[in-house]
Amino acid sequence: MRPRVGAIVACATAATLLLAGCVSGKKTKTDPTKNTSAKNVSLTISANDIVGGKNAAEADWITKDVIPGFVAMEKAKGVTAKVSFVGAGVDDEKYKTKLELNLRTGKASDVFAADGIWLGELATAGYVKPLSQVVGNAATSWDGWAQISNTVQQNLTYQGQLYGVPNGTDGRVIYFNKKLFAQAGLPADWQPKSWDDILAAGQKLKKVSGVNPIQIDAGTPMGEATTAQGFLPLLAGTGQPLFDATSKKWQGATPQVTAVLDFYRKIYQGGLGDPKLQQDQAGRDQSFAEFSKGKIGMLVEGDYFWRSIICPDKSTTACNTTAMPDRNTTVGYALIPAEKPGSGVNGQDFVSVSGGTGWYLSPDTKYPQQAWELLSYMGSLAAQTQLSKAQVRISARDDVNKTTLGNDPLLTFIADKVLPITVYRPSDENYVAVSVAIQQATADVVAGKSPASAAKTYQNSLEKAVGGSAHVQTG
């Protein structure tokens, strides 16, 4: 029997090695002229939005405005278009995994939403292609680009090439509950000037019973929110960018990184924040719920929080249980201070972090031109104005912002005060892996480790993530 078993193993191994050629990169040939004159077109849109759930306002916009509008537009040209929406309501990280698996197998929706920070990873994997290749002239000569500022276009640009149409941008601020602040003897127009001011306010809030003073996202379950809403604005406040574009080096266990982790220590090991909330699988949602119930003193978030979580209108499905009918009077907002006045990036007193999602085209789409028509329709003045009616946000388009932002005090504040001082995250393919290392470092501090040891572990994982210590700055 022995030799036969050996033969089977040998055959199977040979078969595996023959099939081994299957594991190679995805190579898609784009052909912008494919099916240009098709009379029956079917397209799909996917996003991490779902009617009645996550980002419900956007899901409503897609299903009630975009799709009927686009279908009517095509009908006028004699084309029968069938457009369907594939919704999702999961953590962004899981949405990304699903998206990448779909793109890898060539089954992704023709038009899909993805965060700008994923672009490096998607582009280097060959999952997305520049608009100039997928669509060609129609996309590069679109009249909409004139309305989209360079900074916002950067979010969907990788190595000088545009990959999609930006959906807008955002900015992070500190939200605080004015009622709790009044009980703690803090002013309603509070504006901290240093990290110490935040901690001092936290100490006062701690004396109000049943209040969790400070929520700055930390730990791995919060995912990218930990990096974008917590670690990075703090790091910007020490004067160091995460990634130095000129030296191509990432911040390792520098004194600045340790200082940020020490600030986390003061909050989560000093009783100014709730460590368990950072470890809870649904911690971010719970922090939202607690804030809306008046149990959290201050919380760092983007404008997403203001418009999609604590919006005052309970009747819309957008905010559901976390709606705050008294938002406009109860919730205040302040700029995120640098560690000390003037210690922020570019010598700034205040800092913020911005990003932006956008709409991309699948390079595997059967109808590149029609998919682009749908995409550009979504980015048109008419469609973006409709979106702003459902929910005011910082649109990618200046012409839309001019007429809509004035309707909302916070968005005006972000457009006027935050966007000029903000920093954007690097669109490097290693960013996501670096972000995971950052989340783990904050998780270590929340779990009780010292900032120095957390920084050391961070340095090690960072070196693994970016390919060696040559790409890491330690000084």
Partner 1 sequence: MAAPPTSRPVEAAAVVTRPREDSDVAGLGRWRAGAFAAPALVLVAIFLVFPALWTLYLGLLDYSLGGTTAQSPQYVGLRNFSDALSDPLFTKALYLTLLYVGFSAVLGQNILGFLLAWYFRTAPGWVRVIVNVLVLLAWILPGSVVAFLWQALLDRNNGTLNEILHTTGTAWTIDHPMIVIIIFNIWRGTAFSMLLYSAALSTVPSSHLEVARLAGARPWQQLRDVVLPTIRRHVLTNTLLITLWTFNDFTPFLITGGGPDNESQTLPVFIYKTALLGKQQLGYGSAFSLLLLVANLIIAVIYIRFLRGSKR
Give me the residues that bind partner 1 (CB under 8 A), please.
Answer: 12-13, 15-17, 19-20, 23-26, 93-94, 96-97, 100-101, 104, 118, 120-122, 124-127, 219-221, 276, 279-281, 286, 429-430, 432-433, 436, 443-444, 447, 465
> Would you state the structure tokens that stand for residue 101, as one six-digit string?
């698996």
In the bound state with partner 1, the residue whose beta carbon lies nearer, of 100 and 399, is 100
Q: What does the angle CA 253 – CA 444 – CA 267 come to, to the nearest 5 degrees?
A: 95
Quote the CA–CA distance of 340 and 79 in Å, as a whole number.
60
| Residue 206 C-beta: closest distance to partner 1, Å | 17
> Would you state the structure tokens that stand for residue 122, as one six-digit string?
């998607």
In the bound state with partner 1, the residue whose beta carbon lies nearer, of 257 and 445, is 445
| Residue 24 C-beta: closest distance to partner 1, Å | 7
Which backbone phi and psi does 297 adopt, to 5 degrees? -75, -55
In the bound state with partner 1, the residue whose beta carbon lies nearer, of 468 and 475, is 468
Which helix H or strand E contains 302, and what residues bound it?
strand 296-302
| Residue 300 C-beta: closest distance to partner 1, Å | 21
- Which amino acid, 294? G
In the bound state with partner 1, the residue whose beta carbon lies nearer, of 26 and 75, is 26
Which backbone phi and psi does 389 adopt, to 5 degrees? -75, -40
| Residue 85 C-beta: closest distance to partner 1, Å | 23
| Residue 124 C-beta: closest distance to partner 1, Å | 5
In the bound state with partner 1, the residue whose beta carbon lies nearer, of 6 and 25, is 25
Quote the CA–CA distance of 409 and 427 in Å, as a whole number.
30
Quote the CA–CA distance of 439 and 449 in Å, as a whole number.
14
Asked if 366 contacts 118 with a C-beta cutoff of 8 angstroms, the reply is no
In the bound state with partner 1, the residue whose beta carbon lies nearer, of 259 and 446, is 446
Quote the CA–CA distance of 126 and 140 in Å, as a whole number.
20
In the bound state with partner 1, the residue whose beta carbon lies nearer, of 219 and 239, is 219
| Residue 274 C-beta: closest distance to partner 1, Å | 10
> Would you state the structure tokens that stand for residue 47, as one six-digit string?
């996003």
What are the helix (H) ranges across 159-316?
Answer: 178-183, 195-206, 224-225, 232-236, 255-268, 275-279, 283-292, 303-304
| Residue 448 C-beta: closest distance to partner 1, Å | 10
Q: Hey, how many other C-beta atoms are within 10 angstroms of the C-beta on 105?
A: 10
